Amino acid sequence: MASCCVSCVIPVSTTTFSIANNPRMICSFPAVHPVIRPYPQLLRNSNSFQGQSTYCLNSQLVHRKGYFSVCSMAPAAVASFVNSQDLDSKSECPPLFDGTTRLYYSALCPYAQRVWIAQKYKGLDEIECVPISLSDKPAWYKEKVYPVGKVPALEHKGKVKGESLDLLEYLDQEFGGPTIGPTEEDKKQAAAELVKYIDTLGKAGYTALSLKDAAPADIDKTVGPAFDYVENALGKYANEGPFFLGKFGLVDIAYVPFIERLEIAFSGLKNYDVTAGRPNLAKWLKAMDTVDAYNETKLERSVLLDIYKRMLEMDYFRKVGIVTDEKKAAATPVATN
């Protein structure tokens, strides 16, 4: 269906689609759109997406709504991929504070992905996962659920808390299942330092991605030191296992949504392999792929690649001020041992 490129809703578990503004118009859709095709995997793996789901490819709508200025982490590029099960401006608010524990999240949000991974890893099926549309957020989300308006947020015991890193700790404190946070004192200290570095990695990464016509050497100069920091950090507990602190846990969960996105964007858009010359990082990525809780939250490479392609096309990271001064942004590696 060649003309299906602007505004359509596609039931991914079948080969039919309907036009978004005319939901009754069902057509056969033999050649699944390359951007849409990845989602069935997400559906198959995710408890939160049961039954038939639909996805919307809807970039023009987003431009009309002026998302450049409104969203912090939901730019037009991201808003182009909408899970139709996401609660949006037309959806009703869940019955708040009825005793149900709810995780408000978006499959597109790396911060929310952290908490979603932890929820799955700990096997916390008692937490209901509520997908929120980032491109068409329901007004009630900010008004009634979480005044900050961002995902993730956790509704628990009559309160709503946010901030992904805080929520990772909270899940460990308040719920059962395997512990994710380190319990040893030296590892607690290492975890705090490592987690603090994620912003530096992100800034260096987005700066390097935003370089126009850059050769791999320029890219390496900008983001290489940050990945070298990660490489060295992964070496510190290598005798205990391939994860940051040896065993899989909080630091891996905190990093993976960001490293995953950067790895995909650099290899797909800048011809830069973040694992080249970084064997620990390569091992870590392989080891992460064996973690079911992570795999179940993962978007397909092509989806993330397309999102980053669009973000760079609109110079998103400069527009929102993440990339400011490219010369100063190169990260200095910090010794971790």
Ligand X SMILES: N[C@@H](CCC(=O)N[C@@H](CS)C(=O)NCC(=O)O)C(=O)O
Binding site for ligand X (CB under 6 A): 71-74, 109, 111, 134, 149-152, 162-164
- Which residues is 101 bridged to in the sheet? 127
Nearest distance in Å: CB 286, ligand X: 26
Residues 256 and 294: beta-carbon distance below 8 Å: yes
Q: Closest distance between ligand X and the C-beta of residue 134, in Å?
A: 6
Nearer to ligand X, 17 or 104 (CB): 104
Shortest Å distance, C-beta 2 to ligand X: 32
CB of 4 to ligand X, least distance (A): 27
Q: What is the DSSP string of 118-134?
A: HHHHTT-TTEEEEEB-S
The H or E element that residue 260 is part of is: helix 250-269
The answer to whether the CB of 155 falls within 8 A of the CB of 101 is yes
| CB nearer to ligand X: pick between 8 and 307 | 307
C-beta of 216: minimal distance to ligand X in Å?
28
Of the two residues 21 and 72, which places its CB atom closer to ligand X in the complex?
72
Rounded Cα distance, 308 and 300, in Å: 13
Q: How far is the CB of 222 from ligand X (least distance, A)?
A: 23
Q: Which is nearer to ligand X, 195 or 238 (CB)?
A: 195
Which residue's CB is nearer to ligand X, number 172 or number 231? 172
Nearer to ligand X, 219 or 256 (CB): 256
- At residue 221, the 3 state secondary structure works out as helix
| Phi, psi (deg, nearest 5) at residue 21 | -80, -5
Nearer to ligand X, 8 or 109 (CB): 109
Identity of the residue, 8 or 132, whose beta carbon is nearer to ligand X in the bound complex: 132
Under 8 Å between Cβ of 46 and 39: no
At its nearest, how many Å lie between ligand X and the CB of residue 71? 5
Token duo for residue 59: 């970039």
Residue 70 CB, shortest distance to ligand X, in Å, is 7
Of the two residues 56 and 168, which places its CB atom closer to ligand X in the complex?
Answer: 168
Mind spelling out the 3-state secondary structure of 291-316? CHHHHCCCCCHHHHHHHHHHHHHCCH
Q: Terminal CA-to-CA distance of the chain, rounded, Å?
A: 56
Q: How is residue 243 annotated by DSSP?
A: B
Work out the angle between the directed axes of helices 301-313 and 250-269 (0-180°, nearest 10). Answer: 70
**How far, in Å, CA of 7 to CA of 22, rounded?**
10
Least distance from ligand X to the Cβ atom of residue 195, Å: 11
CA distance linking residue 210 with residue 265, whole number of Å: 11
Beta-carbon count within 10 A of 44 CB: 11
Q: How far apart are the C-alpha atoms of 14 and 306, rounded to whole Å?
A: 23
Instruction: Give yes or no for a cis peptide into 38 (omega within 30° of 0).
Output: no
